[in-house]
A and B are shown apart, each in its own frame.
Chain A
Amino acid sequence: MDGVSEVLRWHPGLALVSESPFTWDGLLNIPWDIGGNQCTRIRIKFIVPEYPYLNDAKLYFGPDVTLLHHRKFDATVQSLLRSASTVSSFLRQLQMHACHIIKTKSGICHGTTAHTGKGMLDDLKNALNTPSDVQLSSNSNLDLIKLTLKDVSIVIRRNSNSINPWEIVTSYLPEIPGVEPLGKNVSSLLDIRKKFQMHVQLLEKTWHTLFLIDRNFHVIDPLEPKHHHFYRRIYLSQILSVLITIDPLHPNEHPHIKLMGCNTETEKYTEIISKNLENWDPENDIIQNLLSLLNLTEFPQPPIDDNKDKGGIVNDDECCICFSYELDNEQAPEKICDNRKCKRRFHTLCLRTWLQGVAGNEIVFDHICGKCPNCGENISCSIPCY
């Protein structure tokens, strides 16, 4: 029997669609239990330019190859391709290998066989077919799914529980008091994605409020604020700081306030705060409210470390990029980073040259936006109109 009819006999789902080069296209059966009752089919296209030899043969898979997704799958297929002598023997070995992977995978799913895998794929397909702002990504084994929205993300995993099939592996999303936790009562990926989006939207205002605080005040703690930090310890003087905790659902209401520092100061400020608290207006922004609450006219900053100033290569009034005060045609560095903790200076020309060289920086009308070379916060710079 020649090779072509042998392939036809053992793989009736595959059709020889071309003879130059020899190309088979169709479905490959993968029987993965002993009786052959459980059978999966995957779409393949197999091109064998030097038929009957397998040199330079190429194998393509349809989308259902995700069923076989495995770290070493591609490498194994390549090595089978190199070692096989005929088309039909290669296809047989491919069948066996695919079958082995499916069996191992269903073994991982706590003996619930491929129902979990199938359910997972249906679930995933549904979610992918429904448009959403939430970004969906996965690891190479397709067992962990990451949902991302506005730089907040959670990682979830499918388990064998049919009522709550998704469990949370890692989450940078804080629990919100009084709101049902993410992992509860979700029957599909669609559900958990919707819920995740809802939680992020719920907290957006709160994060913005906290961002305003970070941007304006000198925050001592947390050093690197994360999404789950609802508190900020703000520097007031060398002997006093105030810890404020925001209610995530009511970010504009007055926060929980605790003064920290030496007694005379905390007593003094407790009095000030209790007097001013009635003036707190949820309609105003948090910065305005905090300033009037603490009787402040400006944002307290810690004294600049003298050593730092002397030891640095570049002085505070010099451009952070060219390290000098005067540039060829310009005078003093006039551009100052808006971040109060940074406040470094730049020549417009220096900053523009840098921002224009960074891939992905956006131009909005006559400004280019990017990150401050010193602190990494957003900064923008005018560009000349051509």
Chain B
Amino acid sequence: MAAMSPSKRRLQRELMSLVREPPPGVFVDGDEVGQNLTQWIVHMEGAKGTLYEGEQFQLQFKFSSKYPFDSPEVTFIGGNIPVHPHVYSNGHICLSILTDDWSPALSVQSVCLSIVSMLSSCKEKKRPPDNSFYVKTCNKNPKKTKWSYHDDSV
């Protein structure tokens, strides 16, 4: 096998681990992702006992060649975007570890866990207050948005 870049090697490693031992409520189709390591679809399920119980979501991860020094671009895609104060209706997520607080010690798995916990701690299903304005004006890439993280409680 040709030598893989450290970035691809790490993604391969993460994929194997995520397929073999996925965290609760998270599912990755290894064959689907194996085709193109730089773009993953992660299936996620609303946790029992939370406002999202029974709902299915799809998360898209895009990795640049600088991953893990560069954070992945993570958005919700598909027909069901969770209604949550930190999730815009175009799928963009306002979560500090995806931009300012990213660290190369984080992984797809830890990002998934953070998103599951963000959803689980939600007390009221609603869109962010500036949703319609943001969706109309934002860049396609959520990493281009200058987020201000105003609320850590949800």
Q: Is B60 in contact with chain A by the CB < 8 A criterion?
A: no
Considering the chains assembled together, what is the distance between the CA atoms of A374 and B107 in angstroms?
Answer: 11
Contact string, A198-209, partner B, CB cutoff 8 A, digits 1/0? 000000000000
Q: Does A373 lie within 8 Å of B109, measured CB to CB?
A: no
B118 to chain A, nearest CB (A): 20
Asked whether any CB of chain A lies closer than 8 Å to the CB of B9, the reply is: yes
Chain A min CB distance to B24 (Å) = 12
**Contact at B69–A323, with CB atoms within 8 Å?**
no
Q: How far is the CB of A219 from chain B (nearest CB, A)?
A: 22
- Counting chain A CB atoms within 10 Å of each CB, the highest count among B10, B103, B109 belongs to B103
Other-chain residue from A311, A327, A373 in contact with B6 (beta carbon distance below 8 A):
A327
Interface-facing stretch out of B13-21, B37-45, B128-136, B145-153: B13-21
* Complex-state Cα separation, A114 to B129, whole angstroms: 37
The answer, yes or no, to whether A320 is at the interface (CB within 8 Å) is yes
Q: Give per-residue flags for A91-129: 1 if the beta carbon is below 8 A from chain B beta carbons, else 0.
A: 000000000000000000000000000000000000000
A373 close to B9 (CB less than 8 A): no
Question: How far does the alpha carbon of A212 sit from the alpha carbon of B98 in the complex, in Å?
Answer: 32
Give the segment of A25-33, A298-306, A349-357 that binds chain B: A349-357
Check A322/B103 contact, CB under 8 A, given A313-B17, A354-B69.
Answer: no
Contacting residues, chain B, for A311 (C-beta < 8 A): 21
Instruction: Flag if B107 contacts A321 (CB, 8 Å).
Output: no
A324 sits at the interface (CB 8 A) = yes
B49 in the interface (beta carbon within 8 A): no
* B117 shortest CB reach to chain A, Å: 17
Number of B positions contacting A (CB below 8 A): 15
Residues 43-87 (chain B) with a chain A CB within 8 angstroms: 68-69
Instruction: From the candidates A321, A327, A344, A374, name the one contacting B68 in the complex (CB within 8 A).
Output: A321
Closest-by-CB residue of A relative to B108 is A313
**Residue contact A322 to B69, C-beta cutoff 8 Å:** no
Contacts of B10 in A (CB 8 A): 322-324
Evaluate contact between B21 and A373: CB separation under 8 angstroms.
Answer: no
A-B contact count (CB 8 A): 42
| Chain A, range 313-334, C-beta contacts under 8 Å to B | 313-314, 320-324, 327-328
Residues of B87-113 at the interface with A, using a CB-CB cut-off of 8 Å, are: 103-105, 107, 109
| Closest partner residue, chain A, to B110 (CB atom) | A313
Q: Which residues of A contact B107 (CB under 8 A)?
A: 313-314, 323
Interface centre among A313, A314, A327 (most CB of B within 10 A): A313
Q: Are A354 and B21 in contact (CB under 8 A)?
A: no
Contact check, A373 vs B104: say whether CB atoms are below 8 A apart.
yes
Contact check, B103 vs A357: say whether CB atoms are below 8 A apart. Answer: no
- A-contact bits for B1-34, CB 8 A (1 contact / 0 none): 0000010011001100110010000000000000
List, in ascending order, chain B residues with CB within 8 A of A314's CB: 107
CB distance from A333 to the nearest CB of B (A): 12
Report whether A350 and B104 are in contact in the complex, using a CB–CB cutoff of 8 Å. yes
Contact with B along A352-384 (1 / 0, CB 8 A): 011001000000000000000110000000000
Which residue of A313, A327, A354, A357 contacts B13 across the interface (Cβ within 8 Å)? Answer: A313
CB <8 Å contact, A374 and B103: yes
A-chain residues with CB within 8 Å of residue B14 when the two chains form the complex: 313, 323
- Do B9 and A324 have beta carbons less than 8 Å apart? yes
**A344 pairs with B105, CB closer than 8 A:** yes
Nearest chain A residue, comparing its CB with the CB of B103: A373
Least CB distance from B97 to A in Å reads 12
B positions within 8 Å CB-CB of A: 6, 9-10, 13-14, 17-18, 21, 68-69, 103-105, 107, 109
- Some 11 contacts from A to B, beta carbons below 8 A apart, are A313-B18, A313-B109, A314-B107, A321-B68, A322-B68, A323-B9, A323-B10, A344-B105, A354-B69, A373-B103, A373-B104
Known: A322-B9, A353-B69. 13 other contacts (CB 8 A): A313-B13, A321-B68, A321-B105, A322-B10, A322-B68, A323-B9, A323-B13, A324-B6, A327-B6, A328-B6, A344-B105, A354-B103, A374-B103
**Which A-B residue pairs are the 4 nearest by beta carbons?**
A373-B105, A373-B103, A374-B105, A313-B17
